[in-house]
């Protein structure tokens, strides 16, 4: 079921969390709400869930206007950053909660919980309490719990924010596979552009309560709508009014009429990818991204003088 | 090493000297002449009546303050309403006021010339009756459940409640299945404190009861009256009875201790 947000505004006192936000989430998609902390992305998710009432505007699930419906009748599944595990219940009871309160037949609950625990790979841990699980396991349990009631949309509020980097990476890949299997319309809130790009098919970039751009990860990276989008979705060099990605800086040992002289300040090896920090003679600092092979060919090292030329640059006309 | 033992010894010594010795002495003096005199002292009609009064008053005050305390705690932590700060302060009033003052306040309110004295003219007797004594006890033992539950509610946060809501739980279901289990231990501890206070209350009840022997006398009042009448065995035996009720409450509440949390 698709989600449509129409001109939603939400204030907390003087703070404008959402400023006339409209966004459409296609049915079956996995969309990321990306933005810096305090940008309003979580508030938007909570408005969609019904946990926060908008001051004005509408929320539509499919064709139904659910703006005035309470969270419990919207048919959304929600996963929270800090798991929101029911601490006094076992994994099994946590997952079964939504079905138990709906008074579904026992056999049905049993079968459904079994399926879900298998789906999130927690079959052996059904009798454990949340305190006996790792963070990643708790979050998978929370996902199974949200999926148990067969929600029309799945809302994930920084679901991997509290996990360590390795577990995060695993769970991202796992979430993508899960989405391919379950195919429920999903929104994931994150402040991590890498996470958004890796997981989502569509990204809505939010800043200061407004939607800056909506598009595929590639569209955001290749044709950013403005300066904010450009600098948020990846590293960028700003030279006066022009913006250049580190990947688009060409280095050469030979002087060239339109290349500028620069000195290598630092070379950082990140496996296959290498980052070179340069300083131009006019004091402008530049970040260049190269491959291991390029670095070897140039014999790049600290103190070396190189000639730099942007192969592609972007200028935003206001 | 020595410092650690000294610390332990100091703490235990302090406890023993100030708590165990006096209480132990009461037990010793009670059974000094054997079990029978003590048994006779607590089974005479006046003592029996006092015991009943204490149990009835606690039986009304404790459930009421538990119910009200939980509701008040939820209101204070989960809702924003005008006058919230004031309510928060008023809850502590019974702890800050001397119980005698509380008793006097009720006396002024319901007694001759008091604002609510008209009640007694309509045949509703507040002062020198079970009603007044119960009111005084409710007033005095009001803060405990609230004060135990408020920090736990804050600590637990709203995440679990919101998760339950998105899963389709109505407000009462969420309270019963999620909130209540989370605060269960705090409520239990609050009940212990409320009960202890309710059965032990002397000052406020003493003022409003009029201390009519065999009519408006609770166990603590009975202990005092026996002590003043030089019936030390009776006084000590009733004291032991009070201590036993407290012990039973504490043991009963241990059943509420959370088992699963690590």
Task: Assess B173–A contact: CB distance below 8 Å, yes or no.
Answer: yes
State the smallest CA–CA distance between residue B110 and chain A in angstroms. 46
Mean pLDDT of B217-221: 93
Contacts of A148 in chain B (CB under 8 A): 167
Percent of chain B predicted with pLDDT > 90: 59
Beta bridge partners of A279: A263, A285
For B102-112, the pLDDT digits (tens) are 999 888 888 87
Q: Where are the alpha helices (DSSP H) in chain A?
A: 41-49, 91-100, 106-119, 135-148, 165-182, 193-199, 217-222, 227-232, 292-298
Mean pLDDT of A221-230: 92
Contact A85 B169 (CB under 8 A): no
Is residue B203's pLDDT more than 70? Answer: yes
What pLDDT is recorded for position A318?
67
Q: What are phi and psi for residue A154, nearest 5 degrees?
A: -115, 125
For A236-285, the pLDDT digits (tens) are 999 888 899 999 998 888 888 888 889 999 999 988 889 999 998 888 89
CB-based burial, A177-211: b 16+ in 10 Å, e otherwise: ebbeeeebbbbbbbbbbebbbbbbebbbbbbebbb
Closest A-chain CA to B178? A86
State the smallest CA–CA distance between residue B64 and chain A in angstroms. 26
Contact B177 A70 (CB under 8 A): no
What pLDDT is recorded for position A148?
94
Task: Assess B118–A contact: CB distance below 8 Å, yes or no.
Answer: no
Long-range pairs of B44-51 with CB within 8 A, sequence gap ≥ 24 = B44/B234, B45/B214, B46/B213, B46/B214, B46/B217, B46/B222, B47/B222, B47/B234, B47/B237, B47/B238, B49/B214, B49/B215, B49/B217, B50/B217, B50/B218, B50/B219, B50/B221, B50/B222, B50/B238, B51/B219, B51/B241
Contacts of B173 in chain A (CB under 8 A): 101
State the smallest CA–CA distance between residue B163 and chain A in angstroms. 7
Residues constituting chain B: 262
Average pLDDT, chain A: 92
Contact A80 B159 (CB under 8 A): yes
pTM of the model: 0.83
State the smallest CA–CA distance between residue A290 and chain B in angstroms. 45
What pLDDT is recorded for position B257?
65
If one compares B214 and A148, the residue with the highest pLDDT of the two is A148
Of A55-64, B81-90, B116-125, least confident by mean pLDDT is: B116-125
Is residue A24's pLDDT more than 60? Answer: yes
CA distance A183 to A201: 12
Do the Cβ atoms of B220 and B202 come closer than 8 Å? Answer: yes
Task: Assess A51–B contact: CB distance below 8 Å, yes or no.
Answer: yes
Question: Closest Cα to residue B102, out of B110, A77, A6?
Answer: B110
Partner-chain residue, chosen from A77, A87, A131, that has the shortest CB–CB distance to B166: A77
For A166-202, the pLDDT digits (tens) are 888 888 998 999 899 888 999 999 999 999 999 999 9
Do the Cβ atoms of A1 and A24 come closer than 8 Å? Answer: no
Interface A–B counts its CB contacts (< 8 A) at 73
Mean pLDDT of A80-90: 94
What pLDDT is recorded for position B214?
83
User: Which of the residues A42, A69, A71, A158 would you substitute to probe the B interface, choosing the one with the greatest number of B C-beta atoms within 10 Å?
Assistant: A71
Residue at token pair 């009748």:
A73
What pLDDT is recorded for position B248?
87
Do the Cβ atoms of A232 and A205 come closer than 8 Å? Answer: yes
What pLDDT is recorded for position A257?
83
């Amino acid at each position: 079921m698709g989600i449509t947000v129409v001109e939603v505004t939400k204030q907390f006192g003087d703070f404008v969390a959402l400023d006339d936000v409209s966004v459409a989430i296609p049915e079956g998609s996995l969309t990321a709400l990306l933005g810096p902390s305090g940008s309003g992305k979580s508030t938007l998710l909570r408005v969609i869930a019904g946990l926060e009432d908008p001051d004005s505007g509408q929320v539509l699930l499919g064709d139904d206007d659910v703006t005035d419906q309470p969270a419990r009748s919207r048919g959304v599944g929600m996963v929270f950053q800090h798991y929101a595990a029911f601490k006094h219940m076992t994994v099994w009871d946590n997952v079964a909660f939504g079905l138990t309160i709906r008074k579904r037949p026992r056999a049905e609950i049993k079968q459904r919980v079994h399926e879900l625990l298998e789906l999130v790979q927690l079959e052996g841990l059904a009798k454990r309490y949340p305190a006996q699980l790792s963070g990643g396991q708790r979050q998978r349990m929370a996902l199974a719990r949200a999926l148990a009631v067969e929600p029309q949309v799945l809302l994930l509020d920084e679901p991997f924010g509290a996990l360590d980097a390795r577990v995060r990476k695993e769970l991202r890949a796992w979430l993508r596979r899960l989405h391919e299997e379950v195919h429920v319309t999903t929104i994931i809130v994150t402040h991590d552009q890498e996470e958004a790009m890796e997981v989502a098919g569509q990204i809505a970039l939010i800043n200061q309560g407004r939607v800056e751009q909506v598009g595929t990860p590639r569209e955001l990276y290749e044709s950013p709508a403005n300066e904010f989008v450009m600098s948020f979705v990846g590293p960028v060099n700003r030279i006066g009014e022009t913006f250049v990605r580190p990947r688009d800086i060409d280095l050469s040992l030979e002087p060239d009429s339109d290349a500028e002289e620069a000195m290598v300040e630092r070379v950082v090896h990140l496996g296959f990818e290498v980052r070179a920090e340069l300083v131009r003679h006019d004091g402008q600092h530049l970040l260049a991204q190269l491959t291991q092979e390029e670095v070897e060919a140039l014999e790049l090292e600290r103190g070396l003088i190189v000639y730099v030329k942007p192969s592609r640059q972007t200028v935003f006309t206001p | 090493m020595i410092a650690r033992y000294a610390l332990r010894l100091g703490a235990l010594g302090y406890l023993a000297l100030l708590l165990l010795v006096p209480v132990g002495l009461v037990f010793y003096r009670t059974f000094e002449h054997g079990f029978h005199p003590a048994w006779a002292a607590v089974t005479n009609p006046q003592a029996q009546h006092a015991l009943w009064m204490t149990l009835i008053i606690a039986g009304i005050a404790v459930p009421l303050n538990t119910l009200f305390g939980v509701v008040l705690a939820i209101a204070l932590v989960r809702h924003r309403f005008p006058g919230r700060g004031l309510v928060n302060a008023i809850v502590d009033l019974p702890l800050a006021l001397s119980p005698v003052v509380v008793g006097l306040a009720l006396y002024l309110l319901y007694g001759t010339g008091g604002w609510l004295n008209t009640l007694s003219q309509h045949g509703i007797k507040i002062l020198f009756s079970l009603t007044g004594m119960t009111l005084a006890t409710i007033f005095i033992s009001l803060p405990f459940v609230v004060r135990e539950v408020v920090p736990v509610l804050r600590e637990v946060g709203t995440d679990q409640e919101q998760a339950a809501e998105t899963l389709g739980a109505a407000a009462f279901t969420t309270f019963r299945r999620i909130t209540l289990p989370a605060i269960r231990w705090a409520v239990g501890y609050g009940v212990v404190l409320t009960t202890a206070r309710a059965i032990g209350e002397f000052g406020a009840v003493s003022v409003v009861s009029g201390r009519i022997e065999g009519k408006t006398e609770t166990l603590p009042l009975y202990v005092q009256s026996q002590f003043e009448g030089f019936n030390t065995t009776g006084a000590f035996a009733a004291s032991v009875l009070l201590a036993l009720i407290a012990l039973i409450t504490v043991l009963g509440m241990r059943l509420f201790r959370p088992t699963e949390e690590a």
